[in-house]
Amino acid sequence: MHCSNISIVFNTCLKIDRSLRQKLSSIWYKGYIFGNRPRFFHSAPTVCQTQKDDVEVLLTPQEVTVILRKNEFNKDFSHGSVKSYDSNQLQSNDPIEDTRCEAQCKMTPGLLMGVFDGHGGPACAQVVSKRLLKYIAAALLPHNLLQNYIKQEPRELIIDTFNDRAEIVQDLKLVYDKSFNEYLNKLSESVKDDTNIELCLEKGIMHLDEDISREVIEPFKDNGTINHKTLSVALSGAVACISYIDGPHMHVANVGDCNAVVGTMTEDNEWIAKKITKEHNTENYDELKRIWNEHPEEERKTVIRRDRLLGELAPLRSLGDCRYKWSAEILAEVAVPLIGQKAIPANYYTPPYLTAKPDIYYHRLTPKDKFLIIASDGLWDMMTPLQAVKLVGEHMKGKVFFNPLKLPKKNIQLGDINELLMHRKESLKSKPKDRNAATHLIRHAIGGTEYGVDHSRLAHLLSLSSDVSRMFRDDMTVTIVYFDSEFLRQCPA
């Protein structure tokens, strides 16, 4: 279940130069990105093991549980193919570079769920999580609804977000609102196929990525000014995995190395894992061929080095990361003054080297499909898709015992009640420790062994400072979406 080679995990986690990440993070967190409201994206101090008479004292089970449950969230739905979802995240970096976002489309049907894994600092992932679902929801609007929406004054919210506690400060909000309004106008002027969900997902992702770049370049070309706030977003990066679920229809857009996996129950009551996505990294040979074909033959040895793009970046597609998209001339004028010559990667001859273009996958949900797991690679580094599916399946089975006992009929005999209680007592042995399945997965990812969760292992790994923790694990973000089997059973084939 766990990766025994520490260097492999470390190399996966360290997706971009450490000093660059720290520099961009310090710019982003100088107090002018988020307002005074409580931040969902936080930079919490690492909990350390205590010392008593020179003897190391591990965190107690209660302290471990408090840490693991800190960022839990769950929501139930009263109708549709999605019954509920659980989500959670656990930081390794300080500040955490993962983010997540979930929302209901308000003017069209469907739920959007996204997990975003940042690198080079938290800025890009945080901004993408705040903006991307709006861009996608706008692209999904039929042309007549889009025209009406543009004319609205004041304009209603296009999505209803859940667990969204972050607030962009006013000056950046003005920049982002201007970009979104221009995007709406471009959508209204384009030829629109309202039925092509794949195209809508791609359009929303690609246009936001273009805006992240344009918000830096246009002011610089117009008047020579460089906005360090928008620049820090453009120079950091984020991979993304977004699902759009409308009834039995599920589309997943993937950029980078997050993954989506469906947990399916067979006729024999066995769990199987359907991996929906493919990572954009050097383990994906089709990705390697794509990149090699986009650059001259003489760059074949330099465009991918040490299993990284230009020897630096582990994911081979991402949003932001304009250090691999802008020309060398623009980088010299815009980025070098902020972060030095390292802004221009070695062997940088024929940019762009990077794209945010997503791969889009379609899966028609059936009653056998019980849940979807979307998670950053921090989870998948520690367990396989099948291990994750089996853990969530076991959690589903044991979760019923969190609920109060309900008697099956009014006139039940005392002997039957006693038998029911005895059965429940026996079954409680399999009751999971966490009600939230995302927490259950994270607990097993960090502390799991073939014999169950090892508290000492879990407590030790949760006590490490961020610079040491990164050698063992990455940030983890997990969202688990539960499907309504009865709803899906009634959907026409």
> In this predicted model, which residue has the larger pLDDT, 9 or 299?
299
Mean pLDDT, residues 354-368: 98
Return the percentage of the chain with pLDDT > 90, whole number.
75
176-185 contacts at long range (C-beta below 8 A, 24 or more positions apart):
176/127, 176/130, 176/131, 179/211, 179/214, 179/215, 180/131, 180/134, 180/135, 180/138, 183/135, 183/138, 183/207, 183/211, 184/138, 184/146, 184/149, 184/150, 185/150
Predicted pLDDT at 397: 85
The domain spanning residue 189 has which CATH number? Answer: 3.60.40.10
Are 434 and 87 within 8 A, CB to CB? no
Q: Are 92 and 378 in contact (CB under 8 A)?
A: yes
Extended strands (E) in 31-185: 50-52, 55-57, 73-76, 82-90, 98-105, 111-119, 159-162
- 408 has a pLDDT exceeding 70: no
Please determine, for residue 419, whether its predicted confidence score (pLDDT) is greater than 90.
Answer: no
Q: Compute how many other C-beta atoms are within 10 angstroms of the C-beta atom of residue 201.
A: 23
- Answer whether residue 87 is part of any domain: yes
The answer, yes or no, to whether residue 9 has pLDDT greater than 80, is no
CA 491, CA 493: separation in Å to the nearest integer? 6
More confident position, 25 or 99: 99
Reference 97, options 34, 170, 14, 156; nearest CA is 14
Residue 368 exposure: Cα atoms within 13 Å on the Cβ side:
13
Residue 250 near residue 244 (C-beta atoms within 8 A): yes
329 domain-assigned: yes
Which of the pair, 249 or 426, is modelled with greater confidence? 249
Cα 395 to Cα 439: distance, rounded to the nearest angstrom: 11
Q: Which of 23, 81, 50, 62 has the alpha carbon at shortest distance from 323? A: 23
Give the pLDDT of residue 11.
Answer: 37
pLDDT band at 167 (very low <50, low <70, confident <90, very high): confident
- pLDDT for 312: 97
> What confidence score (pLDDT) does residue 24 get?
65
Average pLDDT over residues 228-242: 97
pLDDT at 452 over 50: yes
If we measure between CA atoms, which residue out of 121, 118, 145, 369 comes closest to residue 228? Answer: 121
Mean pLDDT of 281-307: 97
Residue 193 has pLDDT above 90, yes or no: no
pLDDT at 194: 66
Domain that holds residue 345: 6-490
Torsions phi, psi of 188, nearest 5?
Answer: -70, -25
Q: How far apart are CA 347 and CA 429, in angstroms?
A: 59
Mean pLDDT score, 474-487: 97
Q: Which residues in 6-97 belong to E strands, given as ranges?
A: 50-52, 55-57, 73-76, 82-90
Domain count, the chain: 1
Count the alpha carbons within 13 Å of 209 in the hemisphere toward its beta carbon: 25
Q: pLDDT (tens digit, 9 = 90+) per residue, 49-93?
A: 445 555 568 899 999 999 999 999 999 999 999 999 999 999 999
Check pLDDT > 50 for residue 415. yes
Whole-angstrom Cα distance, residue 250 to residue 362?
A: 6
The whole-angstrom separation of Cα 208 and Cα 114 is: 15
pLDDT at 356 over 50: yes
Band (38; pLDDT cuts 50, 70, 90): very low
pLDDT of residue 41: 33
pLDDT band at 489 (very low <50, low <70, confident <90, very high): very high
Q: Is a pLDDT exceeding 60 seen at residue 212?
A: yes
Closest to 184 measured CA to CA, from 133, 139, 154: 139
Q: What per-residue confidence (pLDDT) applies to 30?
A: 45
Tens-place pLDDT, residues 94-118: 999 999 999 999 999 999 999 999 9
Position 450 in a domain: yes
User: Which distant-in-sequence residues (6+ apart) come within 8 Å of 241 by Cβ?
Assistant: 114, 115, 252, 253, 254, 255, 256, 258, 259, 260, 277, 374
What is the mean predicted confidence (pLDDT) over 270-285?
Answer: 97
Q: What is the mean pLDDT of residues 166-191?
A: 93
Question: What pLDDT is recorded for position 286?
Answer: 97
Residue 1 is assigned to a structural domain of this protein: no
Cα gap 334→445, rounded to integer Å:
41
Predicted confidence at residue 56, as pLDDT, reads 65
pLDDT at 47: 44
pLDDT at 3: 41
The answer to whether residue 19 scores a pLDDT higher than 90 is: no
Q: What is the pLDDT of residue 36?
A: 39
The three-state secondary structure class of 36 is coil
Q: Average of pLDDT values for 9-24?
A: 51
pLDDT band at 42; cut points 50, 70, 90: very low
What is the distance between the alpha carbons of residues 373 and 370, in angstroms, rounded to a whole number?
10
The per-residue pLDDT for 403 is: 53
In a domain, 219, yes or no: yes
- Looking at residue 40, what is its pLDDT? 32
pLDDT at 43: 34
Per-residue confidence band for 270, with pLDDT thresholds at 50, 70 and 90: very high
Cα three-residue angle 131-135-137, rounded to 5 degrees: 115
Residue 93's pLDDT is 92
Confidence label for 39 from pLDDT (cuts 50, 70 and 90): very low
pLDDT at residue 460 is higher than 50: yes
Angle in degrees, CA 199, 200, 206, rounded to 5? 85
Q: Return d(Cα 74, Cα 436) in angstroms, integer.
A: 7
Give the model confidence (pLDDT) of 128-145 as tens digits.
Answer: 999 999 999 999 999 999
Predicted confidence band at 409 (pLDDT cuts at 50, 70, 90)? low
Average pLDDT, the chain: 88
Residue 368: DSSP 8-state: T
